[in-house]
Structure 1
Amino acid sequence: MKTKKISSSISITILCLILGLALSWQFQSIRNNTSVMNLENQKKDDLVVKILNEQKNNENLKAKLNELQVQIGKFENASGNSDKNMKLLSDEINRLKIVAGLTDVKGKGVIITFAKEDSLNVADDDILSILNELRASDAQALAINEQRVIDTTEVRAAGSYIMVNGRHVIPPYQIKAIVDPDNAVNALNMIGGPLEKIKLFIDVSVQKSDEVVIPKISEELIKTGKLTTIESK
């Protein structure tokens, strides 16, 4: 009789262990599935953000095209009126100076700051990846530590420093951008975005600002001595 009771107790214990393991596995499976679903939802959200950014970029390009067409129309309408032509030319020169980075500018945007104590971990590729994402978000002006970034600006490592426009920039490294703040923050922080990898090793902050001031580039950095214009036929 005692043997039967012991056998029955062991059987119940084994059954409870099996049941406990089964419940544990089921709970783990549910948790894993939930994690996968959350990750998929995040990826979908990031994809939506990317699509919206691309749509915004297309709208901006269309707006720029319309602006150029309007400008051409103004020049055509001003034909024969010297005062009007001079005003249009002056306005166009000022606009081109802004585009070329030859004037100080300000506007809404973001400021990205790398922690000074992590400066040795900051690579030129980290900065370039952020600049590229900001450009993709339609940034209209960029600067690194008050050095204006234009199409010919180089960003490269030089020992323990970063070189921008041929000049050393000293930590803490700070990137300023005149850009739609919400679009920029969403693009920088999305899964697989530039900040995901950087934040594993570096303390970096992204701050929205209603007034980002970006200085003009030094005119000595604009080199055209090797360029020759091609006369139109």
Structure 2
Amino acid sequence: MQQNKSFVLVLIFAILGIVISLQVKSIIYANRNLEAKMVNDIEKLKNEIQKEQEIGKVLSKKVSENERIKEENLKNSIAIRKDVNLKKLKEELDSLKIKSGMVSVKGAGVIITLDDADARITEDESTLILHDRDILRVVNELKKANAQAISINDERVTALTETVCAGPTIMINGRKYTTPFEIKAIGDPDILYDTVNNSKIAYLLTRDMIKISISKVSDITIPKYDSIKIDSLFSDLEVVDNEIR
């Protein structure tokens, strides 16, 4: 009886050992599978993270490139606007310089020559002489015809120009000149020619036998206004406390 009990116990322990051994092996196998799965999952995560990082780098590069393009376009736009403004300002300045006579100009236009009439017996000898008012009327006709620049005996006509009779001479810009007088005007040659040729002053000068000739010229140079004379206008002025007296 005692032997049977011992056998049963041995058998039970043997079975229990086998079960425990199988359980341990199962746990070890499961742990190995879990570890392998975890390693595999970690590798997958690493790969996904690496892909996301690469995508992030590409996107970051695109964003940086877009920002660079935007900044470059903005700079170009500012530069273009600045160039346009500078060009416009330069054109306005050049136009003002031309109108004020500060620069010499060149272009097509007309040349008008005026001279006293030949000596003859007449009741009014003053009609034989060219006067400053005659020159002014011719200049006014040229201005009406949109002459861009005018000179009289190479004296540039500006807002400061005066023509004054002084005996047998005429003073222009403070200088004395005698006949003949050569008036140059730059503009549309046809319009300038027709305007002066069909004007009342041309008729009156021709009637009084004052010599007048008008010719169209393709290349005329008109000198700038003498800046020395501009300075001389203010040579006698004295500045005191930022006021002119």
Output the TM-score relative to the length of structure 2.
0.53
Number of the residue aligned with 1:167: 175
CA RMSD of aligned residues (A): 3.1
Note closer, same or farther for the CA distance 1:88–1:197 as it changes in structure 2 (3 Å cut): closer
The number of equivalent residue pairs is 150
CA distance, structure 2, for counterparts of residue 153 and residue 219 of structure 1? 12
CA distance, structure 2, for counterparts of residue 91 and residue 160 of structure 1? 42
Q: Is contact 2:112–2:183 with CA below 8 Å preserved after alignment? A: yes
Q: Is contact 2:116–2:130 with CA below 8 Å preserved after alignment? A: no
CA distance, structure 2, for counterparts of residue 89 and residue 97 of structure 1? 12
Q: Is contact 1:124–1:162 with CA below 8 Å preserved after alignment? A: yes
CA distance, structure 1, for counterparts of residue 90 and residue 195 of structure 2? 37
Q: Percent of pairs identical after alignment?
A: 39
CA distance, structure 1, for counterparts of residue 142 and residue 88 of structure 2? 31
TM alignment of 1:198-213, pairs within 5 A: 198-201=205-208, 202-213=210-221
CA distance, structure 2, for counterparts of residue 112 and residue 83 of structure 1? 41
Number of the residue aligned with 1:19: none
Which protein is bigger by CA-based radius of gyration? 2
1:157 maps to a residue whose letter is: C
Q: Deviations over 1:15-61 (max 9, x none)?
A: xxxxxxxxxxxxxxxxxxxxxxxxxxxxxxxxxxxxxxxxxxxxxxx
Note closer, same or farther for the CA distance 1:152–1:83 as it changes in structure 2 (3 Å cut): same
1:93 maps to a residue whose letter is: L
Q: Is contact 2:197–2:214 with CA below 8 Å preserved after alignment? A: no
Note closer, same or farther for the CA distance 1:83–1:177 as it changes in structure 2 (3 Å cut): closer
Q: Is contact 1:129–1:194 with CA below 8 Å preserved after alignment? A: yes
Output the TM-score relative to the length of structure 1.
0.56
- Which of 198, 215, 230 pairs up with 1:222? 230
1:96 maps to a residue whose letter is: L
How far did 1:107 drift? 1.0
1:97 maps to a residue whose letter is: K
Note closer, same or farther for the CA distance 1:80–1:118 as it changes in structure 2 (3 Å cut): same
Q: Deviations over 1:115-163 (max 9, x none)?
A: 3675971111110110011111111100000000011211110111011
Q: Secondary structure at the match of 2:213?
A: strand
2:93 maps to a residue whose letter is: I
Q: Is contact 1:78–1:85 with CA below 8 Å preserved after alignment? A: no
- Which of 198, 201, 209 pairs up with 1:194? 201
How far did 1:91 drift? 4.5
Q: State yes or no: 1:115 paired with 2:115.
A: yes
CA distance, structure 1, for counterparts of residue 93 and residue 143 of structure 2? 24
How far did 1:186 drift? 1.5
Number of the residue aligned with 1:150: 158
CA distance, structure 2, for counterparts of residue 203 and residue 80 of structure 1? 55
1:95 maps to a residue whose letter is: S
Could you tell me which runs of 5 or more consecutive residues in structure 2 were left unpaired when the two chains were aligned. 1-76, 120-127, 238-245
How far did 1:188 drift? 1.6
Q: Secondary structure at the match of 1:222?
A: helix
Number of the residue aligned with 2:96: 96
Q: State yes or no: 1:105 paired with 2:105.
A: yes
Note closer, same or farther for the CA distance 1:196–1:81 as it changes in structure 2 (3 Å cut): closer
Number of the residue aligned with 1:178: 186
Q: Secondary structure at the match of 1:150?
A: coil
CA distance, structure 1, for counterparts of residue 84 and residue 204 of structure 2? 54
